[in-house]
Chain A
Amino acid sequence: MTLMLERPTELPIPETTISEKKTGGLVIFAWSGDLDRVWPTLILAITAAAAGKPVTVFFTFWGLFPLVRNDRGITGQGWMQKMLAVMNRGGTANLKLSKMNFFGMGPAMMKTLAKSHKVASPQELLETAIDMGVKLIPCQMTMDLMGLTKADLIDGLQEPAGAATALEATEGATTLFI
């Protein structure tokens, strides 16, 4: 038996080529809630926005906690979510370092250093991002899992959404997972 391999005479031409679809945008999946990761995430986001690029940051899992209001009380349902609210308060004021945390001494020293070098704080960067039109999307699933409602999060965010919404924004954009 002979196997005939034939090339199709005409290759299908996609309706839109990749280059046409390229938005030059930036999409960051912010998974980490560590201070030393939240910082570059926000710096990259606002710098890209300053360069006129459409920017979306999808905050999922631990990454959601920088969006929690600093004055949030113990919220959630059941003892597990409440315990999580005690142990991981969230908010830009309570972020931990991934290294050299030393029970909060590390972040305190890092913030002092940043202040003396006039490096913008995560809180300032977050406010700037909102002002610059960066789309900050909280992950709905994480909110449900961790017992957070929209009232527990800061103002100026997009409607909570899921992975599909975040992935839709990646079309033609540069994506990062931090």
Chain B
Amino acid sequence: MTLTIARTLDCKGLSCPMPIVKTAQALRQLAAGELIEVLATDPGSVKDFAAWSKMTGNELVETGQEGVVLRFLLKKKG
């Protein structure tokens, strides 16, 4: 199965809670099952995205880091 990323959201530099909030806003335009890639630099967002995923049911497919940039791959709840 290949994963197609429907949208990439740049939240670099933004502080809590904006990466989460902007992701939630962006998800409104996505269909169920589509993937969104979020780039952030807020170190707190690692825990925050995990907690948010648990609360909303939107799956956190992948968490990665490149230098200071954190990358989250999320799948909209089906």
Contacts and interface: CB of A to CB of B under 8 A. Distances in A.
Interface of A: 43, 46-47, 49-53, 117-120, 128, 131-132
A50 B23 contact: yes
Interface residues of B, number: 14
5 contacts: A43-B17, A46-B21, A50-B25, A51-B24, A118-B13
Contacts of B25: 50, 128, 131-132
A8 to B, nearest CB: 40
Contact of A47 (B13, B15, B21): B21
B20 interface: yes
Given A50-B52, A51-B55, A52-B55, A128 B15 contact: no
B16 interface: yes
Given A131-B25, A132-B25, A51 B52 contact: yes
A128 B56 contact: no
Contacts of B20: 47, 50-51
B24 A132 contact: yes
Contacts of A52: 24, 55-56
Contacts of B18: 118, 120
A43 B25 CA distance: 15
Contacts of B14: 118, 120
A119 B15 contact: yes
Interface string B1-31: 0000000000001111110110111000000
Contact of A117 (B15, B17, B21, B52): B15
A132 B55 contact: no
B24 A49 contact: yes
B17 to A, nearest CB: 4
A3 B21 CA distance: 62
B57 to A, nearest CB: 8
A43 B16 contact: yes
B17 A46 contact: yes
Given A47-B21, A50-B52, A53-B55, 4 more contacts: A47-B20, A49-B21, A50-B17, A51-B55
A27 to B, nearest CB: 17
Contacts of B55: 51-53
Nearest to B11: A118
